[in-house]
Copies of this chain bind each other. A is one copy, B any other.
Amino acid sequence: MPPEPLTPERILEATEDVLRRFGPAKATVVDVARALGVSHGSVYRHFGSKAALREAVTDRWLDQSHAELSAVADSEGPAAPRLRAWLTALFAAKRRKAGDDPELFATYMVLAGENSGTVERHIATMIGQIAGIVESGVRRGEFAPVADPSATARAVWDATNRFHDPAYAAEWGQEGIEAAFGTVCDLVLRGLSTSP
């Protein structure tokens, strides 16, 4: 059986495994190459440096929920329930990541701290999806006209950050967090609406 071809995706999967096993401080490119049974030169042909590899794996991790959220953002129908569904899906995805594998989550928090540009691009993508829902709500006459949909979308992002910013991950398992999330969503949706 010929060996599987060495794709960027296989390298990133192996990198996540190595990070999980050795932690972000100790994981090296040599460890990744060893886990794949290839030379470290083969890894460097895909990712030019250890920093580039760490950035790519961070990007992949942040992107994991993009597709699901983007499907919600682009779905048909009224904007208010769509925005609520989007915020609910985001909160669920974040809680899953933080709760299913807290050590890997902590590892990615370290990586996110090292790759602030990647995190900012991720946040810009998220805010872009909210802006799309806001604009469609305004077009449909559900939401009041806004001067700057991006600024309003950023305000929605900021107003809901207790339910997506990893800084609050410790609170996501607390009793009453679902109710608190619902009350903030109600407030935000009323704030956007033409007819509260």
Mark A residues whose CB is within 8 Å of B: 144, 151-152, 154-156, 158-162, 165, 167, 179-180, 183-184, 186-194, 196
Cβ contact within 8 Å between B167 and A154: no
Residue of B nearest to A165 (CB): B167
Closest 6 CB pairs of A and B: A191-B191, A159-B159, A187-B191, A155-B183, A190-B191, A167-B167
Give 29 A-B contacts (CB < 8 Å), ordered by A residue.
A144-B190, A144-B196, A151-B179, A151-B180, A152-B183, A152-B187, A154-B180, A154-B183, A155-B180, A155-B184, A155-B186, A158-B159, A158-B180, A158-B184, A159-B184, A159-B187, A159-B188, A161-B162, A165-B167, A167-B167, A186-B191, A187-B188, A189-B191, A190-B190, A190-B191, A191-B191, A193-B196, A194-B196, A196-B196
Known: A159-B160, A161-B162. A187 touches B183 (CB 8 A): no
Residue of B nearest to A166 (CB): B167
In the complex, how many angstroms separate the beta carbon of A95 from the nearest chain B beta carbon? 16
Cβ contact within 8 Å between A188 and B191: yes
Cβ contact within 8 Å between B144 and A187: no
Please, which residues of chain B bring their CB within 8 A of the CB of A144? 190, 196
Bound CA–CA A184/B180 (angstroms): 18
In the complex, how many angstroms separate the beta carbon of A39 from the nearest chain B beta carbon? 41
In the complex, how many angstroms separate the beta carbon of A182 from the nearest chain B beta carbon? 9
Please, which residues of chain B bring their CB within 8 A of the CB of A152? 183, 187
Please, which residues of chain B bring their CB within 8 A of the CB of A160? 159
For A161, A162, A187, A196, which residue has the most chain B Cβ atoms within 10 angstroms? A187
In the complex, how many angstroms separate the beta carbon of A165 from the nearest chain B beta carbon? 8
Residue of B nearest to A153 (CB): B183
In the complex, how many angstroms separate the beta carbon of A66 from the nearest chain B beta carbon? 22
Please, which residues of chain B bring their CB within 8 A of the CB of A155? 180, 183-184, 186-187
